[in-house]
Structure 1
């Protein structure tokens, strides 16, 4: 695999020419997507320098880090990555570094994961992971099974702990008998950060790791986390109040669907053109027609698109149905302008709160 080969090459260069870091410098945190970046800076505050490797405006599914990026990852005090199949190479890199590897957090390890879901009308297309064939790195797969081996248990635990979600799913199947939820084993849905409660879990893991790396800053990190946790809990309560008072319970995306954790958490029904990690492609006429019929039948006023989408499908659906197109932002990355404007995970989700109100009321 090209990226893994680069990682090994840069590792050998580092070992040949070790770099010393002055003790007084801030912790260096490297993050692989916007949620990781924002959670880290919220908890770390002024005691760390947090870097987002994913360039603004770039879809994470198509991002390939440069050799310089890989060196930055290897030299970091803390590396925060998502942990899905598209990042197997990171697990392999860390494993190959042994005791020289930076401290690392895989966000998917911090929460209960679910598989991607194929619902009625949705295109079943290849995934957009662009980091090489899985066959090229069996060792990465083995590492991932070790690192993420509790995901299967999580799925079972989730069924036990969150039985109301399962009940909701069964009710949805009875009420919408045409929902065809694919029971074949599918990839784990990687968009774990899309609920405030998962954001809290991930941020708590960051708190623990920073406190371990920088004991002198423990009180500062704890205070930052406490503030952020309260803001996330308030956001969660606002979402719950919104959905409790809503006149409808179904959203439609003429796009990929990266919000499964969100809809599971708040018991929303959804229809979409593609699963969350699908490769960019044009939906079929059948899918477009199905989504149009759903909007008409259920009198849904909004068809959503996600960030960095070409919006073609959503615009086509809107043109034929009279629905309004709005952005439902998964927060996986932001534009240069949004970054310059100081956007945060909280501000993105509060923007979603407002647009969902328009769709459901």
Structure 2
């Protein structure tokens, strides 16, 4: 369990103690459903909240902690209301890999024992999955507390796994398994919903394959590694200097030599598209966008949360279509 923001969580727990004490439906042992019999699911972001809604349907009551582009999960400070939601959860869904460590902190502060689905554990790139078979991966959700996984940032690992459709399909399957264990009578419905969701994910993968057929190997510059898995699935080459994207992601200044290297790349003609993150910005990112605009290179901005009124599938399909249209231009 991560100790990220430990002092903040200790203060948060104290601030919400009276609220928690007055909740008859509190979940000290975990697994207790809410009064209306819906399974209470808490997701770190609305990306995973929306996937849970797709799998659980009317049988789940989903609360997403981070829901808009103005909130950065890397540095998010939860409220007492957020802590209360986690304390009453029957199931928690997180990204993991150091992306949303606030969730682990809230689980620890609440002192609950509930199943946790950790998305990064279903990624082919997750370091701990090297050499694991598919059956072992399906057991990850059950082993969250027992396996000793480190939820701090993993050096060299891109934790933004929701931009990898294949990983997301496995996450949906894991959610269905956990919901089925919480409500065995509804297990078949959850499995059917996850299967239908996976079929829609296959549609995304087909669209990405079309981009690869038309533009495979094309160079793309991403100011932050958020959409890197999507580019990989589309057969595109991420040509961004690693030091550039890492600095932007960490909120640090890009080293001058790295910035010059990035500008040279834009000028070289080897970059067909620039992608930024709507939730982070800085002078260096603005400079790269300006260089791209000056050379007629299209730019896109991808977010880390699902826009209001969209589903995960519709949002990701829009991203894929924008990617294809920009490369076709």
Pairwise TM-score range, normalised by the shorter structure? 0.7 to 0.9
Partners of 1:251 and 1:269 within 8 A in 2: yes
Q: Which residue does the alignment assign to 1:156?
A: none
Post-superposition shift, 1:92? 5.4
Residues of 1 paired with 2:264 and 2:279: CA distance?
26
Residues of 2 paired with 1:344 and 1:313: CA distance?
33
Gaps of 5+ in 1: 116-142, 151-184
Partners of 2:42 and 2:63 within 8 A in 1: yes
Q: Which residue does the alignment assign to 1:4?
A: 9
Gaps of 5+ in 2: 1-5, 26-32, 128-143
Partners of 2:211 and 2:234 within 8 A in 1: no
Post-superposition shift, 1:63? 1.1
Residues of 1 paired with 2:213 and 2:219: CA distance?
13
- Aligned ranges for residues 323-334 of structure 1 at < 5 Å? 323-327=297-301, 329=302, 331-334=303-306
Of structures 1 and 2, the one with the larger relative CO (CA 8 A, separation 6+) is 1
- Pick closer, same or farther for the CA change 1:15–1:282 going to 2, 3 Å: closer
> Is 1:19 paired with 2:24?
yes
Residues of 1 paired with 2:197 and 2:247: CA distance?
27
Structure 1 stretch displaced more, 286-295 or 8-17: 8-17
Residues of 1 paired with 2:103 and 2:34: CA distance?
26
Partners of 2:247 and 2:254 within 8 A in 1: no
Give the superposed CA RMSD.
3.2
Post-superposition shift, 1:52? 1.0
Partners of 2:41 and 2:61 within 8 A in 1: yes
- The alignment partner of 1:148 has SS state of coil
Partners of 1:110 and 1:202 within 8 A in 2: yes
Structure 1 stretch displaced more, 205-214 or 259-268: 259-268
Q: Which residue does the alignment assign to 1:343?
A: 310
> Is 1:262 paired with 2:230?
yes
Residues of 1 paired with 2:115 and 2:263: CA distance?
48
Q: Which residue does the alignment assign to 2:92?
A: 79
TM-score relative to the length of structure 2: 0.76
- Aligned ranges for residues 221-300 of structure 1 at < 5 Å? 221-246=190-215, 248-253=217-222, 255-272=223-240, 273-275=244-246, 278-300=249-271
Post-superposition shift, 1:326? 1.8
- The alignment partner of 1:70 has SS state of helix
Post-superposition shift, 1:246? 1.6
- The alignment partner of 1:76 has SS state of coil
Deviations 1:202-255 (A, max 9, x none): 1110000111111222222122112111010111122012112226521112x2
Partners of 1:4 and 1:93 within 8 A in 2: yes
Q: Which residue does the alignment assign to 2:134?
A: none
- The alignment partner of 1:32 has SS state of strand
- Pick closer, same or farther for the CA change 1:301–1:321 going to 2, 3 Å: same
Q: Which residue does the alignment assign to 1:138?
A: none
Post-superposition shift, 1:5? 0.8
Post-superposition shift, 1:2? 2.5
Partners of 1:204 and 1:225 within 8 A in 2: yes
Post-superposition shift, 1:323? 1.7
- Pick closer, same or farther for the CA change 1:323–1:267 going to 2, 3 Å: closer
Q: Which residue does the alignment assign to 1:307?
A: 278
Q: Which residue does the alignment assign to 1:110?
A: 122
Residues of 2 paired with 1:13 and 1:28: CA distance?
21
Residues of 2 paired with 1:302 and 1:16: CA distance?
53
2:62 is matched with which residue: 50, 61, 68?
50
Q: How many residues align?
A: 292
Post-superposition shift, 1:15? 7.5
